A = this chain, B = another copy of it.
Amino acid sequence: MGTLTVGEVARESGVSGSAVRFYERQGLITAARTGGNQRRFDPDAACRIRVARVAQRVGLTVNDIRDLLAVLPPNPEPADWQGLHDRLTAEAERRIRELHAALDDIGSGRRLCDL
């Protein structure tokens, strides 16, 4: 099944080789092994990593992303992408709401701190 090496996935996904191995350790991607114990990835590994990078920009940790990607099977169908998209969107919007709430508190800052 797996045909891509660490280096190939790294190049395709734009992260370092050590990051690819890190992501495998963390369960974001999975790999088959050759007789000589080398990793071989499915072609969707790079894709999963690209999704992971976007999720990091939303503020998710690698742990969060593991859970997120757990619901994404190999060779995902449109519905799988949709679910993932929905979860990420909800998370980003939640963070935007938190920032707005902080802004509101800042707005009342002078009153909070009248000296």
Q: How far is the CA of A43 from the CA of B81 in the complex (A)?
A: 54
Q: What is the interface of chain A mostly: helix, strand, loop, or mixed?
A: helix
Residues of B within 8 Å of A103, CB to CB, are 58, 88-89, 92-93
Q: Give the size of the chain A interface in residues (CB under 8 angstroms).
A: 36
> Number of copies of this chain in the oligomer?
2
Q: How far is the CA of A115 from the CA of B73 in the complex (A)?
A: 12
Given A43-B115, A75-B115, A58-B99 contact (CB < 8 Å): yes
- Give A68-86 as 1s and 0s: 1 = Cβ < 8 Å from B's Cβ atoms: 0000000110100100110
**7 closest residue pairs by CB, A with B:** A47-B113, A57-B102, A81-B110, A92-B99, A88-B106, A92-B103, A58-B102
